[in-house]
Amino acid sequence: MDAALPIFTMFTNIQAVIIDLDGTMLDTAPDFLVAINRMRTEFNLADLDITTIKNFVGKGSENLIHRVLAEDFAEDQIALHFDTALATYQRHYLAINGNYSGLYPHVMEGLQAMRALGLRLACVTNKPVAFALPLMEKKGLADYFDVVYGGDSFTRKKPDPVALLQVCADFDLPPSQVLAIGDSSNDAKAARAAACPVLLVPYGYNHGEAIQNVESDGIVASLLEAANLINR
């Protein structure tokens, strides 16, 4: 990213926006924390803290559970426990999905501003779609989006670009006219591979790494700021 380049000059022909869910629109780490620790209780393991969980989020449920188990088990033991741990976690997560999570500041205002600009919106998340859809409904997000794809909608998750390319096809738009917004290197890599412009927010998870070190077209404080850049 070239800091000397006026960022708004890149977004004058945007027709649609692809937005990540966890860490971009919703702070879902508290939900993950509760579900994971309930799973760990069934395995007679000690609770993990919220910082540890945030560092594990972003690459799908399978990766999350693998990293959680790796806190206590060697690789061969992880394989023995994985299926049961994943099923137990998903059972607990489904029971509390959205109860402890919350919207980040200016998410609703940003979505409203994007809609007012006539932009089509898609949500692409690595969360399983059966969890993503009810969560978005509960938090009042669902009606803003024409398309929602989860981590199990395709055979590959972000950072693979397959979901982003499908959105472009759904909207019948070239990737250059579809802006991606996310909170992690997964989002940026997927956007780059799809040839979509990409903005990142600084408040999400990004696997515990500084978002400033991720190559993108800019960092915005909120979805509303992103909408204002498109508006310019």
148 - beta bridge partners?
Answer: 123
Transcribe 126-189 into DSSP letters: SS-HHHHHHHHHHTT-GGG-SEEE-TTSSSS-TTSSHHHHHHHHHHT--GGGEEEEESSHHHHH
**In the predicted model, what is the mean pLDDT of the chain?**
92
Q: Where in the chain is the domain with CATH 3.40.50.1000?
A: 7-27+102-231
Query: Catalytic: which of 20, 22, 27, 183?
Result: 20
Q: How much is the pLDDT for 5?
A: 40
The amino acid at 55:
N
> How many other β-carbons are positioned within 10 Å of the β-carbon of residue 225?
16
45-54: burial string, b at 16+ Cβ within 10 Å, e else: beebeeebbb
The Cα 225–Cα 113 span in angstroms is 10
Q: How much is the pLDDT for 6?
A: 43
Q: Is the pLDDT reported for residue 116 higher than 70?
A: yes
Backbone angles phi, psi at 217, to 5 degrees: -95, 5
In the annotation, is 22 catalytic? no
19 - beta bridge partners?
Answer: 123, 181
Mean per-residue pLDDT, 72-81: 94
Mean per-residue pLDDT, 106-118: 97
220 confidence band (pLDDT: 50, 70, 90): very high
Mean per-residue pLDDT, 190-201: 97
68 confidence band (pLDDT: 50, 70, 90): very high
Q: How much is the pLDDT for 232?
A: 53
Measuring CA to CA, which residue among 127, 123, 112 is closest to residue 145?
123
Q: pTM of the entire structure?
A: 0.90
Q: How much is the pLDDT for 59?
A: 75
* pLDDT greater at residue 164 or residue 56: 164
Q: Is the pLDDT reported for residue 53 higher than 80?
A: yes
15-36 residue pLDDT tens: 999 999 999 999 999 999 999 9
> How many other β-carbons are positioned within 10 Å of the β-carbon of residue 134?
14
Measuring CA to CA, which residue among 229, 220, 231 is closest to residue 105?
220
Structure tokens that stand for 213 in this block? 């070190």
Q: Do the Cβ atoms of 57 and 30 come closer than 8 Å?
A: no
The CB-side HSE value for 88 (13 A sphere, CA atoms) comes to: 17
Q: Where in the chain is the domain with CATH 1.10.150?
A: 29-96
The amino acid at 1:
M
CATH number 1.10.287 is the correct assignment for the domain at 29-96: no
Handedness of CA 99, 139, 28, 105 (dihedral sign): negative
Three state DSSP letters for 55-87:
HHCCCCHHHHHHHHHHCCCCHHHHHHHHHHHHH
Residue corresponding to tokens 């959680």: 68
Mean per-residue pLDDT, 158-172: 98
CATH number 3.40.50.1360 is the correct assignment for the domain at 7-27+102-231: no
